[in-house]
Amino acid sequence: MIELLHITERRLWESARAAGTYEMSTRGRTLSEVGFIHFSFPHLVRQVAELLYGTDPAPGELVVLVVDPARLDGVPVRVEEAAPGGESFPHLYGPLPVSAVTEVRDWPRPDDRSQKERMLAGDLYLADDPELEADALRAAELGERYNASSVTDLPARGALLRELLGEVGEDVVVRPPLAVDYGRHISIGARTFVNYGAVFLDVAPIRIGEDVQIGPNVQLLTPTHPVAAEPRRAKWEAAKPITLGDNVWLGGGVIVCPGVTIGANTVVGAGSVVTRDLPADVVAVGNPARVVRSLPES
């Protein structure tokens, strides 16, 4: 669901809730005065709130209405540009049914976290941030050295892998080439084997258990992007962690999507796309991957 957000004063919302519809709009002006109710996409809500009410409203003064567009009962919503070349915002040309409001949030204090802190918390963030760009450059340089390392000097290759990744257990084998985003957010348990061509995009943590077998050209993809066009155009993105339990086997070409956990001992057939969690001790295949049978307990 695409969320639409509206900032308003708590007292106005309480009045609207009692009446069954919300007809207020920007700065307390009525719908008839303004002509529309102004919404924001999640990545713009702070910018809009500070523009309308300043950076330090009284505690409890403001609320954020979270609206489900599917519940607007035919009231027209159009996404329009606020100014030539500026951000686009949804406008509702009619009263807002209270039933379309799925949540009412207290307006929080300013978010002073760094982009990296936002990223690691799983929130929307901007990747073109100096701290994140420096981390990515470090990973790219170490990755180049690792992928060019000689098979005749395995101790040096192993040292590079441990420098690149966050945690590497004993007797881990990762055959180059390996592609990562940051490297530091990847942990690999002891005796795990990773075949050629792995792509581990670790915007969020990737946790790989012990004794895992990963076939060639497997992709573990933690990044995700907004479905709504405008925040995606503004380059906002997020990520969800991936976890592989002990003794998992991923066949060649498997793709694991953001936020997925695969339970211990589970086998995923070659070429499968895993979009949801898989339990332990099963075989799953297909796109999307589905459980086709259970495995006997070890």
| Residues known to be catalytic | 225
- What single string gives the DSSP state of each residue in 35-91? SSEE-B-GGGHHHHHHHHH-S-PPTTSEEEEEE-GGGSTT--EEEEESSTTS-EEEE
Going from the C-alpha of 198 to that of each of 37, 103, 214, 232, 269, the distances in angstroms are 48, 41, 8, 27, 16
- What single string gives the DSSP state of each residue in 13-33? HHHHHHHTEE-B-GGG-BHHH
- Measured in whole angstroms, the distance separating CA 180 from the mean position of its chain's CA atoms is 17
Please name which of 261, 263, 266 lies closest in space to residue 292, comparing C-alpha atoms.
266
Which region, left, alpha or beta, applies to residue 235 given φ > 0 means left and ψ of -120 to 50 means alpha? Answer: left
Using the Cα atoms of residue 27, residue 31, residue 33 and residue 39 in order, give the sign of their dihedral: positive
Q: Is 146 exposed, middle or buried (0-12, 13-18, 19+ CB in 10 A)?
A: buried
Cβ(80)–Cβ(88) under 8 Å? yes
Query: Which two tokens mark 114?
Result: 């760094």
